[in-house]
Chains A and B, each alone.
Chain A
Amino acid sequence: MNVPEGDLRRSRVVADAAAPLEAALDRRLTGYLVLRPADPLVPDDGGGVITVEEGVPVVAYHDGTDTGGPAALASLSGHGPYRAELYAVDAADLADVHEVEALRVPPGAPAEQVADDTELARRARERSPANRSSSDGDDAVEAFLADEERIADIKRRARAEAERRAAEWGFDDAVEPEER
């Protein structure tokens, strides 16, 4: 996805994606957010760009999975903390990329599917122009559920974490041998 280079307005490490999305909404930013996983223990699997018009999300792209639209949100979800950068761009310079249907996301979907913030999602939907689809982010859920490898990875990591913590917390007796 090609977005024109913008003016950096803010850059910080955040625990989740709610703060930068809210900052964009509150400032009625026109431009884009760049979110890149900032956990040094997690391999860098790429980051995402979400464009905003008057603070409301329009399109999304993830460079690690080369996916756009709701699938890009699914790739971005659950990888916080993030290095979050906000850039301002002239609305006219975003017009082309905003025409690409495959990259479009519902206005509330980034808040709901990436930031897990239903109230922020509601505000984004309320602020969005009448011609924007306000349907929820089911497509992001479908993209997430279609990614069997990622789900297997989440399960694997959770198992490893549970077993590591069992030793830390003295739950060793409770741990069952791996059956699968």
Chain B
Amino acid sequence: MVEAFAVASGKGGTGKTTTTLALGMALADDHDVTVVDADTGMANLLFHAGLADADPTLHDALVDETADVRAATYDRFGMRIVPCGTSLAAFEAADPGRLRDVVADLAADTDVLLLDSPATLGSKAAVLPVVLADRVVVVLQPTVPALSDGLKVQEYALSYGTKVAGTLFNKVHERGTDAVETADRYFEGPTLAEVPDSDAARAARAAGEPLLAHAPDSNAAAAYRRAAARIDVRGGDGDAVADRFRSAVIPDPP
């Protein structure tokens, strides 16, 4: 039983990785959660999860067909985390087409698969996580560029048959809450949370810990927990999801 979510934003700097790990930790209270750094060209998740020295990584599983992704799977903070490495050579050798097989393998024994997706819609490999997921969590912040790109992500997802689990606003300051209410009518799914702008997320990143581990009592952590509680995990058929990943198109190398 598994449901795959792409956590996506269309642009960088919206707090997507912080969000992915926060939702992962909150959902891990009730589910088996696996978090995958699906942004294979811009490894980031490892720094947020204290895995900066992780070896092997997802890249190894994307290079070598015989490599078992389970070797690149780390139990941290109550979740399984599959980080990407920072080696450019490994990234260049990696075959993004293998991502669907790797994710299919992971889907076989988890409840919730969170794909931290690339912050762009510029290439086939970048869009693949949104195509493969059951639902997308659109990460926004109350600025014109973030809303504009978030709308694009939503339309891409809907075009490819991926539903919208909801939107999550990061870096909301006091006056931004009106904008969140107005934005709600242009997005499918509920507004999962408005996460206040705070130093806690920056401090957590600097400490190499997910926000919910670093500052569990912060307002931001509470907002992410509320967001996770609003996601009703639908636990589809694990084999069906695995099959879908396996039959998905193979992207060109970057």
Interface residues of chain A, those whose CB is within 8 Å of chain B, are 73-74, 77-78, 112-114, 116, 118, 135-138, 140-142, 144-146, 151, 154-155, 158-159, 161-163, 165-166, 169-171, 173-176
Contacts and interface: CB of A to CB of B under 8 A. Distances in A.
A176 B161 CA distance: 5
A77 B159 contact: no
Given A155-B151, A155-B186, 14 more contacts: A77-B144, A113-B145, A116-B11, A138-B176, A141-B142, A142-B178, A158-B151, A158-B155, A162-B155, A162-B159, A174-B161, A174-B248, A174-B249, A175-B159
Contact of B144 (A144, A158, A163, A170): A144
6 contacts: A141-B176, A142-B178, A155-B151, A158-B154, A158-B156, A162-B160
Given A116-B11, A118-B13, A136-B173, A170 B249 contact: yes
A145 B151 CA distance: 11
A151 B186 contact: yes
Contacts of B131: 171, 174
Given A78-B144, A116-B145, A165-B127, A135 B175 contact: yes
Dominant secondary structure of chain A at its interface with chain B: helix
B158 interface: yes
Dominant secondary structure of chain B at its interface with chain A: helix
A142 to B, nearest CB: 6
A126 to B, nearest CB: 17
A78 B175 contact: no
A161 B147 CA distance: 18
B76 interface: no
B182 to A, nearest CB: 4
B119 to A, nearest CB: 11
A138 B142 contact: yes
| Residue from A118, A145, A170, A175 with most neighbouring chain B CB atoms (10 Å) | A145
B156 A145 contact: no
Interface residues of B, number: 32
Nearest to B10: A158
Contacts of A165: 124, 127
Interface of B: 11, 13, 124, 127, 131, 142-148, 151-152, 154-156, 158-161, 173, 175-176, 178-179, 182-183, 186, 248-249, 251
Contacts of B144: 73-74, 77-78, 113-114, 137, 140-141, 144
Contacts of B182: 142, 145-146
| Residue from A74, A137, A166, A171 with most neighbouring chain B CB atoms (10 Å) | A171
B179 A138 contact: yes
Contact of B143 (A141, A154, A175): A141
A162 B142 CA distance: 24
